[in-house]
Structure 1
């Protein structure tokens, strides 16, 4: 989500917390915890005053992250997206099978090729599409929302990525136009969008929240905080939000798609979630490294509830390619070759992730098994360092990591120790609170950092183009390669998906060779789910999933 950022915090004994998101950024928070420091559920209720009261019929209770914002045009993290995708919607969205479906639109339009080479999509709005207050959604609402997302005054950092193909969008984003030329209101229920040239993945791009429709009256009356009580179009409304305690979504019974089966979703924002699960206080929870062995033990009660699914994410260590010593590819390669990722996955993470050999996660169209990457080779790592322009005389190196734990966590500590042993390099760790981290990241303030990415949509373009093109706002490592840019730009215009994926594969090979980031792991969604919960499978990335869930007790 992108910085549907997701994501992986390497924190404490909990191991990986996929931030979302989601992402990505918490995908599913609550992957265990340090039981020595954790409060009991009763202590949390007394200290945090978060007595949730008696359950409603059909209420779902689950862990959740604290969102940074609920403004769909500003979101860049998967933790916020977790709620935004339930509160808002756009012309299109995803179903549980990760297929693009019409949302506010009646159907998915066919692309119409124009004489000037542009391509248009004509969307007809559903007759029952409405905001939460009952006001019908119109084509003018769509036009206003897209132009608000692209307005420099809004401050979106991702509009230039996900809306750039829309004719005139970049002119609006850069303050050169008052409107987006490629957005045309045909009538009250019809809007036509025109893009510069064919994009086979355009409808997937439109699922990103920057394309969501917002209430103009709200957004103009309170532009900075309308989202604290938003009048969206999604399957849920925001009922209550107590920071660091709980966030409650109420089902929108009048939703234009199938209304939710549950009556409400109550997200618990802090606690020892697995303990709460075992005490029947919540209906699902993540399982972390401290508890995964017993959860996988067929003799343990948790085992019957255990669910493990794929997550379309990538955790990584990134280098600022413009700052010493990581402006030298040989230094980056040395750091990559010195990490034994397999040992970390097996020993530290207890197989809660899989080793990343490339950038694209398994299951994402465009993924190729054995796509390269840096295998563990300490001798080659030291040789690369010695051959670099810096040799072994490196400047001070600071690794910035999102989080505020007592330590940076066992994954970070293991990697730092590998660099010390294999390269003779000392690396300092600096932890930064997550919201502040994202702000600093946008300013390229870091020499080296760890984070992750969870897919916004299932396509290699979302990992290669969005993250590594020189001009991308998500290129947080200042990487630039004319060869990679050429391949990406050729792929954008390619209408044959097989050929498009080949081009992304060629770009991926070049990127992995240059190593602006070290791809570490692809995560797993590992959760326990109560047997009375039906219609739920942890999604591979952030989609609106709550309306499909049933609470059957």
Structure 2
């Protein structure tokens, strides 16, 4: 059994303290409303504060407060908004973008922020030695992919040019309708060159430079303190170009993988927002406190990952058997109850007008036939396998349902294993791939189907399955080069059909995010990409 994490115990301590002292002193929410300090449940411990290495919504939630790119997005409409660039223009053929940096753009230590900072950051993110898992979002830029794969060593040939300290020109390899939205991903954020180089090599993946105080950033907030396992605190950045608009004085992010602990802390007045909601509490909040419950539509996909480099999942028939045995409708209807949709493909419907192909449906009879064809009739001779997940109620419950379903329909034994979020991510990455079956969850980073389908392109650092096929890469490349929207969607559907037929993953559901938000919080918008513009958030008791 896993021991409670320090962060889990911290939130329990906050709740106990609040209960014992509620008659004598104000809660954290009450004092936070007065002092303009937002208390946020952040789901788990942050892995990295280095924008070019960090990944996932937990890291990005904090990075969104500390850093800002050339362009940001409106959370709800996903339309581009000026960031460090106050304006931009593009050529009529859609290949060249020119960004004009704000004259008052500065780092949190007061240093001027210039185009050279962006060039350094982009080159660092694409340099093979850094091995950034998220470098593929640069690939629409001319020669960026060649440089990232070591096939081109002269960065001067990549499509970035800075005519002066305030003008940045970016040339694309092909017109890319969603290009501006890519600039909101954290790998496009600038990093402070002297801070990176002072601490270690620019390509040191330990991100030691982010542990040196003060951390130099360029967003609406700057790092105040990071007490691992307790909280990470950011404070208003006086050097931010739009500091006058920032209404919060501080944000404290509390890590906890226990949804129960976060919900208790929220009810006790110790959190303004909770990351997610325990399944057992959804219905009661719907009826008793609907004003506190947010069920946000999200471009999110939850799935099973197969390690295709290990037996028995090298065989696509085995993978497909496991996928066809899943009862997605029952999971959504009886377990989740938060507006999720059973997923028959990877990409959520409606993303940039795209609709995925009809792929996997529950078919236990076909699943048993495929397993028998692969040499395991009624599961006989099938080895015991492990399903890796994280110690959180929703994930544990889904794992148990899958375990029982595979036992009943296929006659196979699956053992559930749990790892805390940091260790889980380390286990499923392409460097270690230390798992057989694992929980998968992906939130769209930008509003285009390639944010999902591109994960499984050859060389993508966050693939994690070991599956790679040139034919799939060619289908994605054909879709990327197609300018007509209807033909492009058809090409993407063809690529997604190919992916689902080979089954390196088994889709389960398309998600929503169930969160709790205190009534004093203002400016907390629905966010399909699950990011926050914290500069727009305020507190009004």
TM-score (norm 1): 0.84
Deviation at 1:481, TM superposition (A): 4.1
Deviation at 1:438, TM superposition (A): 2.4
Whether 2:64 is the aligned partner of 1:122: answer no
Whether 2:88 is the aligned partner of 1:108: answer yes
Q: Residue 244 of structure 1 corresponds to which residue in structure 2?
A: 229
Cα distance in structure 2, aligned partners of 1:71 and 1:123: 24
Q: Residue 204 of structure 2 corresponds to which residue in structure 1?
A: none
Cα distance in structure 2, aligned partners of 1:222 and 1:263: 29
Deviation at 1:315, TM superposition (A): 0.9
Cα distance in structure 2, aligned partners of 1:120 and 1:422: 55
The DSSP-based 3-state class of the residue aligned with 2:86 is coil
Whether 2:250 is the aligned partner of 1:260: answer no
Deviation at 1:393, TM superposition (A): 4.5
Cα distance in structure 2, aligned partners of 1:289 and 1:406: 8
The DSSP-based 3-state class of the residue aligned with 1:543 is coil
Whether 2:284 is the aligned partner of 1:294: answer yes
Whether 2:210 is the aligned partner of 1:227: answer yes
* 1:312 alignment partner, one of 299, 303, 306: 299
Question: Alpha-carbon deviations, 1:177-230, whole Å to 9, x = none?
Answer: 253422222011112222323322222233221111111111110143222342
Q: Residue 150 of structure 1 corresponds to which residue in structure 2?
A: 126
Q: Residue 321 of structure 2 corresponds to which residue in structure 1?
A: 334
Whether 2:175 is the aligned partner of 1:207: answer no
* 1:446 alignment partner, one of 435, 449, 453: 435
Question: Alpha-carbon deviations, 1:232-288, whole Å to 9, x = none?
Answer: 111111112211111212122443247322222122224722222222222222322
* 2:78 alignment partner, one of 98, 111, 133: 98
Structure number with the higher helix fraction is 2
How large is the RMSD of aligned CA atoms in angstroms? Answer: 3.0
Cα distance in structure 1, aligned partners of 2:395 and 2:292: 31
Deviation at 1:405, TM superposition (A): 7.1
Maintained 8 Å contact 1:318/1:449: yes
Q: Rate the CA distance shift 1:506–1:219 in 2: closer, same or farther, 3 A.
A: same
Q: Rate the CA distance shift 1:519–1:180 in 2: closer, same or farther, 3 A.
A: farther
Cα distance in structure 2, aligned partners of 1:180 and 1:433: 42
Query: After the TM superposition, which of the residue ranges 91-100 and 308-317 deviates more from structure 2?
Result: 91-100
Whether 2:283 is the aligned partner of 1:303: answer no
Deviation at 1:150, TM superposition (A): 2.0
The DSSP-based 3-state class of the residue aligned with 1:537 is coil
Q: Residue 65 of structure 2 corresponds to which residue in structure 1?
A: 86
1:404-553 correspondence to structure 2 within 5 Å: 404=391, 409-440=396-427, 441-443=429-431, 444-464=433-453, 466-553=454-541
Deviation at 1:378, TM superposition (A): 1.8
1:338-349 correspondence to structure 2 within 5 Å: 338-349=325-336
Q: Rate the CA distance shift 1:93–1:397 in 2: closer, same or farther, 3 A.
A: farther
Whether 2:367 is the aligned partner of 1:381: answer yes
Q: Rate the CA distance shift 1:351–1:140 in 2: closer, same or farther, 3 A.
A: closer
Q: List alignment gaps of at least 5 residues for structure 2.
A: 21-26, 201-206
Deviation at 1:173, TM superposition (A): 3.1
Equivalenced residues, count: 508
Cα distance in structure 2, aligned partners of 1:247 and 1:239: 8
Deviation at 1:406, TM superposition (A): 11
* 2:39 alignment partner, one of 49, 61, 64: 61
Q: Rate the CA distance shift 1:139–1:324 in 2: closer, same or farther, 3 A.
A: same
Maintained 8 Å contact 1:59/1:262: yes
* 1:269 alignment partner, one of 255, 266, 275: 255
TM-score (norm 2): 0.86
* 2:139 alignment partner, one of 164, 182, 190: 164
Q: Residue 268 of structure 2 corresponds to which residue in structure 1?
A: 279
Cα distance in structure 1, aligned partners of 2:475 and 2:351: 19
Deviation at 1:530, TM superposition (A): 2.1
Q: Rate the CA distance shift 1:366–1:385 in 2: closer, same or farther, 3 A.
A: farther
Cα distance in structure 1, aligned partners of 2:271 and 2:346: 35
Cα distance in structure 1, aligned partners of 2:310 and 2:264: 45
Q: Residue 16 of structure 1 corresponds to which residue in structure 2?
A: none
